[in-house]
Structure 1
C-alpha cells in the first residue's frame, strides 16, 4: 500500500468516520457518581482499560499509551505502558508530552465561554462585529466545487460566535477535509490549522501557515464558505479563528489569555504551543501508519513543536501531558472550580458543555439527529447528563461526563487516528469499568 493511499485516511470521509467514533462508549455512561472506595491499583480499578493498553503496546501497535481516569475532583488513576518512543529509554508516564491536536478545541471553546460569561462576547453575536471583513461572505453553491462567480452566492445569514464554536459557520478545513479547489486555495493562502512534521506527507497539512492570527483571519475572510452558515456541521478552522476573536474581545494575545485564565489557574504547567527545549526529554514520538508499519514523522529531538509556531493554533496546536489535560477535565467536572480555585463560572461551564447547535440546521445532518456540539467539543446525551469532549488526530481522547463526573483521557501518538478503533474502544472500556464500581 502506498504512502499516498494511506494518507487518504485524512479525507473528508475519514473525518466523518472519526466524527462517529465515540457513540458506543459514551452512550454507556448511564452510571451513578462513584462514591465507593478505590481498588488496590489502577489495573484493578480499570481492568478493561488496562487490558486494552497492554494489548496495544505488547503488539507494538503503538510505542506507548497512558490513560488518565478519575471521578469528580478526585485524583486520577493513571495506567501507563511502553516508552516515549520505540527507541527511547524513558518509560511513558503521566508527565510524558503528547501532541493533543484537536483536543485543543475544547480549551479554546472554554476560553470563549469565559468571555461570553463576562459579557465581552455573546453566542449569537455576528462575527463581523469583531472582524468586519466577514460581513459579506460568499458561499459555494456546489460543495467543494469551483471558486468562480457562477458557483457562488451570498450568505443568507451572518456567521456568529455560536457557529464558530460548533463547526457550523460554513468554513472549510483545507486539504484534510476539502477535496476540491478550495482545499488547494486554503494551502496557498496559509490557512493551515497546525503543524505535524518537517517531512512532506501526502494528504496531511500542506502549505506554510499565515504569519499571525490577524493575517490568518484576514485571508480566511477572502475565501468562500463551503456551506451556508448555520445549516451543516462541517469540520472547520472555526476554533482557530476563535483565537483571533478572543484576542480582540480580551485585548490580550490568545496564548497569553489561555495561560492567564486557564492554564495557570488549573495548574497546567506542561501545556504549550511550543515545547521548551529543556522539556523535550519527555516529548513522545509521533508515528505514521504505512500499512502495518509505524514510520516516525516527528521525533522528540528534532520535533517541529520545538519551534515557535507562526501563531497559536486554537484548533490543533497544543502539546500537553496526561496529568495536565486531566486537570482541565477536572475543572470542567467541578463546574469551573478545581482545588478551591474558581477558573470559570458554573454557568459558563454548563452552557459550554451543553448542545449549542443552531436551530437553523438542515434536516439530515448527523449532529442534530445523533449528537450535540458545545464549545469546541461533542456533546453525547446520557441519562446522567452530557458527556463532553473531543479527540486528537494522533490518537488521543479526552471526555468528561458532567453528571457522573467521570474523566476519561487516553494518550498515544499515531496517525491517522482512524487506522485503529482505539478511541472508540477506550471510551467503551472506560464506561464498562466505571459501571462495575
Structure 2
C-alpha cells in the first residue's frame, strides 16, 4: 500500500502536484478492500481535506450504472437488447439520420470547426449557420438497446460534432449535452445504426427506456433497484433534493489545467448541480466508496443486482463490428480515451494501439497488458479524469476519482497507469501471503 500512497501523495503534493485531490479505491474478487484512500484536497485552494466519501460529479461513469439498469429491464423480460427502442420512447419515434445540408459539402471551414472543438475552443453559432435545409435519411432498420449501450446507434455528443452544431445553430437550439435535460440529447443521429461508432448520449436514451418501462424517474428507479440493494447512500442525480432536509455534503471542486502549467486552477463544472432530468449517461453524483460497491458487485457475478451471471457476461463481451471498432480506435487515437487503452505510457500510433473492442459498458481489452489488466477486462471513465476498471480474470476492480478539466489530461493519464501497475503488484503480494 505504501507504493499507492506515494503515487497519490506525489500527484497531489501542494507545492508540485498537478492534481488538487484524488481518491483511489480497489477491491478483490471476494469483495475485500485492496486499497481505499484519498490524498490532497477537495478544494482547489487546498484548504479542505478530501476523503473517499466526498461527493463527486462522476460524469460518464454514470453510463455503467445505466447499462446495469438497462440489463435489469432485459432480465425482467420488459425489452430485448435487439428490440427497437422507438416503440418504447416516443421522442425517438420519428428520428431521421442527418446527412448534411443542401448546397454544402465538407469544407475547410468544417475541418477548422472540428479542430476547434477538439482543442476545447468556443464556437460562434452565428457564423456556422448553414444556408441550405437539412438533408435527412430514414433510419434503416431498428435503433436497439444494444446499439445505444455500445455507442453504435448513430447518436453523437452535440458539442463535439460540426454537423449537429450547425443543425442546432440553424434552429436556434439552446440545450446541449451539458444542459441537464433530455432536450440536450435530442437531435438527429449522424449515421445509420450499427454502421459506425461515436461517443454520445446513447445511455441518456437507455435511461429514458428504463423510465418508460418502469413508469419511474431514473433516480427513483436506481435508488430502489441499484443503490439500496448495495447499501450505497450517496449516489444520486439530484444531490440537493436527495440529501434534504439535511445539508448536502461538500463537493469535490472542479479544477482546470491549461497550457503547460502543472498547477490546477479553479474551474467550473460543466454540469448543473440541480439538473432538471436524470441523465443516464452523465448526471450522477456520488462517492468513491459507494461506486466501488457497484464495481465489486459486477466483479463477483452481478448479485444482487442481476439474477444471471450470463447477464454480466453479456455486458462485458465485445459487441461492435469491424467498421465500428475502427471508428472507436480512431476516437482513442484522438486523445479522448484514457491512457489505459494503450500498451504503454507513451502516445500510440494506430499500429501500436492495443487491440480493443467495445462492450455494453465500455472498452474491452482483447489481450493482457503486462503487469496490469488481463484480457477481457472492461473499463471507462468520466470527463473530469475519473476512471474505473473491472478485471474478472485478474480479480480486481478499481476506480479513481478526480475533478480535473479538460478531459484526457495527460498527467491524470500517467497517474492512472502508475496506480494500476502498483495495484497489480499489491495484488500479487497479497496473493503470496
**Equivalent in 388, 394, 401 of residue 384 of structure 2:** 394
Matches of 2:412 and 2:405, distance apart in 1: 12
Q: Distance in 2 between matches of 1:140 and 1:394?
A: 30
- 262, 273, 276: which one aligns with 1:310: 276
Q: Gaps spanning 5+ residues in structure 2: where? A: 111-129, 331-353, 369-373
User: 2:195 corresponds to which residue?
Assistant: 231
CA deviation after TM superposition for structure 1 residue 382, in Å: 4.0
SS of the residue aligned with 1:236? Answer: coil
Name the structure 2 match of 1:296: 266
User: What is the TM-score with the length of structure 1 in the denominator?
Assistant: 0.74
Q: CA deviation at 1:130?
A: 0.9
Task: Provide, for residues 283-313 of structure 1, a one-character-per-residue CA deviation record: whole Å limited to 9, x for no partner.
Answer: 21111223325332349xxx942x3x11011
Q: Does 1:268 align with 2:214?
A: no
Q: Deviations over 1:134-153 (max 9, x none)?
A: 34542233598769556432
Displacement of 1:425: 4.0
Cα distance, 1:165–1:304 mapped onto 2, change above 3 Å: closer
Structure-1 separation of matches of 2:300 and 2:50: 28
Provide, for residues 142-178 of structure 1, a one-character-per-residue CA deviation record: whole Å limited to 9, x for no partner: 5987695564323223211111001111112111x11
Out of 38, 50, 54, the residue aligned to residue 5 of structure 2 is: 50
Change (3 A) 1:321 1:76: farther
Evaluate the alpha carbon distance shift between residue 387 and residue 88 of structure 1 in structure 2; reply closer, same or farther with a 3 A threshold: same
CA offsets per residue over residues 51-100 of structure 1, 9 Å max, x none? 33122111231111111122111124113211211335432121112211
Aligned to 1:257: 221
- Bigger RCO (CA 8 Å, 6+ sep): 1
1:103 to 46, 61, 79: 61
Q: What is the correspondence of 1:14-413 to structure 2 with a 5 Å cutoff? A: 42-43=1-2, 47=3, 49-58=4-13, 59-72=16-29, 73-87=31-45, 89-141=47-99, 151-175=135-159, 177-182=160-165, 185=168, 188-189=172-173, 191-194=175-178, 208-210=179-181, 213=182, 220=186, 223-275=187-239, 276=243, 278=246, 280-291=248-259, 292=261, 294-298=264-268, 304-305=272-273, 307=274, 309-337=275-303, 341=304, 343-357=306-320, 359=321, 361=323, 364-367=326-329, 370-382=355-367, 384-413=374-403
State the distance in 2 between where 1:256 and 1:169 align.
26
Name the SS for the 1:399 alignment partner: strand
Tell me how many residue pairs correspond in the alignment.
Answer: 362
Q: TM-score, normalised by structure 2?
A: 0.75
2 CA distance for matches of 1:98 and 1:410?
11
Q: Are the aligned partners of 2:195 and 2:323 in contact in 1 as well (CA < 8 Å)? A: yes
Report the 3-state secondary structure (helix = DSSP H, G, I; strand = E; otherwise coil) of the residue aligned with 2:229.
helix
> Is the 2:196–2:327 contact (alpha carbons within 8 Å) kept by the matching residues of 1?
yes
Residue 402 of structure 1 and its aligned partner are, at CA, apart by 2.0
Q: Give 3-state SS (helix, strand or coil) of 2:282's partner.
A: coil
